[in-house]
Structure 1
Amino acid sequence: MEQVRIVSVAKQLPKHHRKTSDIIPFVNLWLSGQEDRFRRKVVKIFEGAGVDHRYGIMDIEEVFTATSFEEKNDIYVREIKQLGEQALQKALIKADWKAGSLDFIITVSCTGIMIPSLDAYLINTVGLRNDVVRLPVTEMGCAAGVSGLIYATNFLKANPGKRAAIVAVESPTATFQLDDYSMANMVSAAIFGDGAACALLSSEQHVEGPKILGEEMYHFQDATHLMGFDLTNTGLKMILDPAVPEVISSHFPKIVHPFLKKHGTSIEKVDHLIFHPGGKKIVRTVEELFGKLGKNIDDTREVLRAFGNMSSVTVLYVLERFLEKNIKKGEQGLVLSFGPGFSAQRVLIEW
């Protein structure tokens, strides 16, 4: 079986950014027609979300302006193309690869709609080969960054000596619903931010980077109601069940232990936890489960604090932090994210 390695990860930040403290006046203005108690509760959610700062493809005034789905999606399409190209170029420079050397491109996004998908545009703007294999991944939400790693790994295992790129670009702010006063919309507005990232993987010999020891998906039965979007006339309306952290917690032993055992290791032997920060509650849930083992998820918490939850992109920001550390040979990392379905996606890596 061919060895697959993660060669580089690069992030690209959207052009607009704000501290959460600067967003709260806009939230107060937006909710000024609502009951005072409700408004105060929402402000508390923003203040307690564990997100200090976030980036956006639109300025804050645009986010809080009533526009049609078409207008918001037009901004999404324009900005996603740019961010995707910048993230891919950055990762290629880091790896010292030419764009034409890529054999497989996966693009990941669930926060807008574009056909043809982003990868088709990247073929032209970045100069990919005309026989490059394309795979757009659209409906997997927060888990899709890891889904992309899984698809790329499977492709590369079957094709020795090849190269793959995963380009994830998300704009949850483009899905923000001005007329939706549900808790799902409030909580997602408080935790989400926009971002882009690219990961490059290879099945060539003599490449540097952590190798992938195993990859697997885990699907929760009868849990399609937990997370997703409803497509409405005003855009993509967030579905977010408050039971998510609790459900994750109850499945956690089944998600982690059999997977690690299958690959000849255990949670005790995993040195680095590379987790998608779904939100403060999920971070706390994971911490409670692993804190006793002396493991920390400081990088996960730090990415949430500095950028918010950027859906599929977020776990790649966490992964980039680990690739920039001086990690000893032989140490293992567990990459994990959760998303609609409901599902957990896992990748085991070794330096």
Structure 2
Amino acid sequence: MTRVLAVSTAFPPHRYPQHEITEELVSGLPPGSDRALVRRLHAAAGVESRHLALPLDRYRDLGSFGETNRLFVELAVALGAEAVERALHDAGVHAEDVDLVVSTTVTGIATPSVEARLAAEVGLRPDVRRTPLFGLGCGAGAVGLARVHDFLEGRPDGTALLLSTELCSLTLQRADTSTANLVAGGLFGDGAAALVAVGAERPADAGHPVGSDLSPASACTASSPAGSSGPSVVAARSRLYPGTAHLLGWDVGDWGFRMVLGPELPELVRLQVTEEVESFLAAHDLKPGDVGAWICHPGGPKIMDALAGGLGLPDSALAASRRALAAHGNLSSASVLQILKDVQAARPPSGTTGLVIGMGPGFSSELVLLAW
């Protein structure tokens, strides 16, 4: 089975409490806007603070889609490189050992893609296989882990890298007073995450000791010691829900990315995603009560409440997701990787079953079964 050696994160240096972000956005609303509604929506988002790609006052001066996308490329490459170097260091793996890199984002367009732009900087081989993913939204962190697993099942002596880089704040439409945009303005944060995994035939001691010369990441503080027992990937399942494509995604135009967010999503999660989770677990002779580590995308309080209620989970089950949402906001595809990092830091006992749940446009879900 695929073994996860390390998961690391990187955040922009600009961090603000939720109320400061709220008041900045309220101050820029068009005349006649319902400012009280914005404050209520932001207060109910379950977010206490967020990292932003830019200083808060810079967002007033952002202009065209072209300008914001140029900023995305510049900042995403720098932040992604930081996450990758840290993950390689924490895993005890040299960059030149990586055979595949999967990268995902849904908050900017880069051609060459983000992983191609940072490959030489972090020391990836010129012949490294690359799979950039776009359009999978918040579910892409789980999808990326599943695709890494697919590769390593066929290349059991290989090493793979997953990178998620999301700068959600650069997509904000300040003049858009739709409920979807107001909710997004109170929910999403910026960050990157990277994961290093190896195939079943890669020797357990194939990594290099932390502190050896592993490129600039050697100066980083390790989030999990090399050789620590990370989870193995047991199986994965993808699901599209027909007739739901209009509920989540981007409306793309001259203005950039405008949020599409249907109010029916929590009910869809409660009725259909929970059924898919139960079916997936049953295929492996498991029930929700057998899962000891829930790594669920924090799509917002209503989404998590719907999932927990539909599966009959105790309040503690999604605690890691709620803490991540409070501390950083919804990081789109990077969130499940950040949560997996936090769960791994708590050292789940051997024999623990974990489940990664990602949800994104389509409407779609991605499930990845883990075992410690």
Query: What's the counterpart of residue 252 of structure 1?
Result: 273
Contact 2:98 2:158 in 1 (8 A): yes
Read off the aligned partner of 1:232 and give its amino acid letter: G
Q: Look up the equivalent residue of 1:103 and give its one-letter code.
A: D
Deviations 1:223-262 (A, max 9, x none): 1101111111111111111111111111034211111122
Alignment of 1:130-149 (within 5 A): 130-149=126-145
Distance (Å, rounded) in 2 between the aligned partners of 1:253 and 1:61: 41
**In the TM superposition, what whole-angstrom CA distance separates every residue of 1:120-151 from its partner, at most 9, and x where no partner exists?**
11221111111110000111000000010010
Q: Which of 325, 335, 340 is the matching residue for 1:314?
A: 335
| Aligned residues with identical type, % of pairs | 32
Deviation at 1:292, TM superposition (A): 4.8
Whole-Å separation in 2 of the counterparts to 1:15 and 1:23: 15
Q: Does 1:304 align with 2:325?
A: yes
Given candidates 229, 233, 237, the residue that maps to 2:254 is: 233
1:24 aligns with 2:22: yes
Q: TM (normalized to structure 1)? A: 0.96
Q: CA deviation at 1:271?
A: 1.0
Structure 2 unmatched runs, 5+: 206-228
Is the Cα–Cα contact under 8 Å of residues 268 and 293 in structure 1 kept in the other structure?
no
Q: TM-score, normalised by structure 2?
A: 0.90
2:321 aligned with 1:325:
no
> Residues 72-124 of structure 1, C-alpha deviation per residue, up to 9 Å, x if partnerless?
11111100000110000000110111000000001110101110101111221
Q: Distance in 2 between matches of 1:253 and 1:187?
A: 24
* 8 Å contact from structure 2 (residues 274, 310) kept in 1: no
Letter in 2 for 1:19: P
Mapped partners of 2:274, 2:251: distance in 1: 31
- 1:266 Cα shift? 2.0
Q: 2:147 is matched with which residue?
A: 151
List structure 1 segments (4+ residues) > 6 angstroms apart after TM superposition: none
* Residue deviations 1:150-188 (CA, integer Å, cap 9, x gap): 100000001111000001000111110122111111001
TM-superposed deviation, 1:286: 2.0
Structure 1 partner of 2:244: 223
Q: Distance in 1 between matches of 2:196 and 2:116?
A: 18
Matched residue type, 1:27: L
SS of the residue aligned with 1:92?
A: helix
Does the Cα contact within 8 Å between 1:85 and 1:122 map onto a contact in 2?
yes
Using the alignment, how far apart are the partners of 2:313 and 2:254 within structure 1? 47
CA deviation after TM superposition for structure 1 residue 295, in Å = 5.3
Contact 1:271 1:295 survives alignment (8 Å): no
Separation (CA, whole Å) in 1 of partners of 2:315 and 2:110: 44
RMSD over aligned CA atoms reads: 1.4
